[in-house]
Amino acid sequence: MQRAYIGLGSNLAEPLAQLRSALTALEGIPASRLVAVSSFYISDPLGPPDQPRYVNAVAALDTSLAALELLDALQTIERDQGRERKAERWGPRTLDLDILLFGDQLIDEPGLKVPHYHLQARPFVLYPLADIAPTSLRLADGRTLPDLLKACPFEGLERLSEPVTALVTAPVTRGD
């Protein structure tokens, strides 16, 4: 089994509901178990400024799937929830699911880069990741989560107070 950290984001079609649905779908991925979910965060969009703010979270998933098999499962969930891939990068979307980390692997495949592209510069990824990952987390490329957090201010984020533990059936744990 590998521990995969999955980034979740939505800014269309009731984003909170989109993330809740995605978490339920993550629980149904074969050969996998949802083990933790971060708080939800509101974040400013990266792309065009004339779009709604995002709701983001990070989930920890233990899986025996290969990384590309997991990516296929995530993209199926996105499509099932109305995701349409367009040429515009960072535009609005119903659901975005990204493999942020996959065990201690460095992956450079067409369509999949792990650790995720620009993870180190995205507070809407790092702070939710810190909610559920061990404080000693070291990425496969040697960077540590505490060092990444120090270099990435908590800006443009708002933590939602809604308890996430009720959203998953598996026990939700913190990685510390």
pLDDT of residue 84: 76
Query: Active site residue: 3, 62, 79, 98, which one?
Result: 98
Query: Active site residue: 93, 131, 138, 176, which one?
Result: 93
Considering the domain boundaries, does residue 173 fall inside one? Answer: no
Q: How far apart are CA 33 and CA 31, in angstroms?
A: 7
Contact 108, 117 (CB under 8 A): no
Considering the domain boundaries, does residue 176 fall inside one? Answer: no
pLDDT of residue 87: 58
Query: Active site residue: 3, 80, 89, 96, which one?
Result: 96
Q: Is 44 a catalytic residue?
A: no
The share of the chain scoring above pLDDT 90, in percent, equals 71
Considering the domain boundaries, does residue 60 fall inside one? Answer: yes
pLDDT digits (tens, 9 = 90+) for 144-165: 999 999 999 999 899 997 645 4
Domain of 100? Answer: 2-167
Tell me the average pLDDT of the chain: 88
Query: Active site residue: 20, 53, 79, 83, which one?
Result: 83
Considering the domain boundaries, does residue 128 fall inside one? Answer: yes
> Could you tell me which of 45, 65, 34, 43 has the C-alpha nearest to residue 132?
34
pLDDT of residue 88: 63
**What CATH number did the domain enclosing 8 receive?**
3.30.70.560
Considering the domain boundaries, does residue 175 fall inside one? Answer: no
Q: Is 96 a catalytic residue?
A: yes
Average pLDDT over residues 23-37: 96
Considering the domain boundaries, does residue 172 fall inside one? Answer: no
Count other Cβ atoms within 10 Å, centred on residue 5.
27
- Single pTM value for the model: 0.89
Q: Is 50 a catalytic residue?
A: no
Considering the domain boundaries, does residue 174 fall inside one? Answer: no
Question: Using 50, 70 and 90 to split pLDDT, how confident is the model at 173?
Answer: very low
Cβ neighbours for 114, distance < 8 A, ≥ 6 positions apart? 67, 99, 100, 101, 102, 105, 106, 107, 140
Average pLDDT over residues 30-34: 97
Q: Is 83 a catalytic residue?
A: yes
Residue 52 has pLDDT above 80, yes or no: yes
Considering the domain boundaries, does residue 32 fall inside one? Answer: yes
What's the domain count of the chain? 1
Question: Using 50, 70 and 90 to split pLDDT, how confident is the model at 96?
Answer: very high
